[in-house]
């Protein structure tokens, strides 16, 4: 399965020592990298927003860049997310993604003498997949080899055991991402009855939060898309949502304090209904009609929810409750402890096998 060196195998020899396993996800919202902590204390995880912002050094006039969380915090008006809409096109999106990724790898000393397993979304955009691969191939890491696995399968790995048990089992999963929702069954690693939609997404929730906040504040408050995402990530909660109070500076001075009660959870509730509809109304029937026995086996195992949107407190239990109420099955639902970094941790575990 592992194809070995894609480039730079000479460097690997001169570096000496055994190669290091690295898991990578370059997602549309965040990039996550996992590798052994240099002090031997376990796995180090780097997680930052997939974005960059250009600025000018006021003394030299030189064009400079800020990356990741810093770029988003300091340059909210000009920050660019090159993968905002998904896999990169051949031009500027790939270029900016490469520049971003190389900067993150360098600033966190991700080992170059490494075997990289990276994850990719379910997509038939082959050019986009090739462009993403190029970003990793052209980066300094992965000198010993580069391999890719489905994001959803990797995300299920930490949910189903301490090792690679997920690769040996039959189960169904859903990946709740920023630009897509995915569903599939896995039979010992093979993806079955894949379903993918760009309609029910984290980004869509963020867009609705913007217009809801406008409505709820009688057009006094306009937030940008990153603020909407932060509201969702910090406050959305199916167990104990509290109204959110924030302050804006008004044009011409003066602070305006406002409280929103429904603007966050309305779209999040609607989102979960959409996810349940897809799972119970589209994915399961398709799986059952094409692979009846696999469908049966998969429903006897916990359904795994992965992806950043599965981080919302109480979402997993609420998904289980709603699915049970529409399908006549006693199914259970589970999730990895950190659905937002699980795919990278799973990829890192696979990479560990390759160097072992």
Ligand X SMILES: Nc1ncnc2c1ncn2[C@@H]1O[C@H](COP(=O)(O)OP(=O)(O)OP(=O)(O)O)[C@@H](O)[C@H]1O
Smaller CB distance to ligand X: residue 34 or 311? 311
Three-class secondary structure of residue 207 per DSSP: helix
The tokens for 317 are 């239990």
Interface of this chain with ligand X, residues 162 to 181, rule: CB under 6 A: 177-180
Asked if residue 88 binds ligand X (CB under 6 A), the reply is: no
Choose, by CB under 6 A, the member of 260, 312, 333, 350 that binds ligand X. Answer: 312
Structure tokens at 266: 């309305």
177 in contact with Mg ion (CB under 5 A): yes
Q: Which does 309 bind (CB under 5 to 8 A by kind): Mg ion, ligand X, none?
A: ligand X
DSSP states of 124-141: --HHHHHHHHHHHHTSSS
Structure tokens at 78: 């000009």
**Separation in Å, CA 189 to CA 173, 276, 331:** 12, 24, 21
Closest separation between CB of residue 151 and Mg ion, Å?
5
Determine contact, residues 150/122, Cβ cutoff 8 Å.
yes
128 binds Mg ion, rule: CB under 5 A? no
Choose the binding region for ligand X from 23-31, 37-45, 91-99, 287-295 (rule: CB under 6 A). Answer: 23-31
Residue 70 sits at φ, ψ, to 5 deg, of -60, -45
Structure tokens given for 314: 């109480």
**Nearest Cα to Cα of residue 347 among 92, 26, 93:** 26
The minimum distance between CB 121 and Mg ion, in angstroms, equals 5
Stretch that binds Mg ion, among 43-51, 76-84, 174-182, 202-210 (CB under 5 A): 174-182
* 189-228 positions binding ligand X, by CB under 6 A: 202-203
The answer to the question of residue 141 lying near ligand X (CB under 6 A) is no
Partner from Mg ion, ligand X, none binding residue 179, C-beta < 5-8 Å depending on class: ligand X
């Amino acid at each position: 399965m592992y194809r070995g060196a894609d480039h730079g195998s000479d460097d690997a020899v001169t570096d000496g020592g055994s190669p290091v396993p690295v898991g990578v996800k370059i997602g549309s919202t965040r990039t996550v990298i996992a590798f052994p902590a240099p002090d031997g204390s376990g796995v180090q995880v780097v997680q930052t927003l997939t974005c960059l912002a250009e600025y000018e050094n006021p003394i030299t006039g030189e064009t400079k860049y800020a990356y990741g969380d810093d770029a988003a915090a300091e340059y909210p008006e000009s920050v660019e997310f090159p993968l905002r809409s998904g896999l990169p096109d051949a031009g500027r999106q790939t270029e900016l993604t490469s520049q971003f990724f190389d900067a993150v790898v360098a600033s966190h000393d991700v080992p170059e003498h490494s075997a990289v397993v990276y994850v990719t979304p379910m997509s038939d955009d082959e050019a986009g997949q090739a462009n993403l691969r190029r970003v990793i191939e052209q980066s300094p890491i992965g000198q010993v080899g580069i391999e890719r696995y489905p994001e959803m399968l990797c995300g299920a790995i930490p949910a189903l055991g301490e090792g690679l048990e997920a690769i040996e089992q039959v189960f169904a999963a859903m990946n709740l991402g920023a630009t897509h929702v995915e569903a599939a069954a896995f039979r010992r690693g093979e993806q079955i009855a894949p379903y993918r939609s760009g309609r029910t997404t984290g980004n869509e929730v963020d867009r609705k939060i913007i217009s809801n906040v406008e409505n709820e504040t009688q057009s006094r408050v306009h937030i940008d898309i990153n603020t909407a995402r932060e509201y969702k990530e910090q406050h959305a909660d199916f167990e104990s949502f509290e109204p959110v109070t924030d302050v804006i500076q008004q044009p011409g001075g003066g602070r305006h304090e406002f409280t929103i009660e429904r603007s966050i959870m309305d779209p999040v509730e609607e989102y979960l209904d959409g996810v349940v509809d897809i799972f119970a109304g589209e994915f399961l029937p398709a799986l059952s009609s094409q692979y009846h026995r696999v469908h049966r086996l998969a429903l006897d195992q916990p359904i795994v929810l992965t992806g950043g949107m599965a981080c919302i407190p109480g979402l997993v239990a609420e998904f289980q409750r709603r699915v049970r109420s529409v399908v006549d099955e006693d199914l259970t639902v589970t999730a990895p402890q950190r659905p937002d970094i699980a795919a990278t941790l799973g990829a890192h575990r696979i990479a560990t096998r390759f160097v072992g």
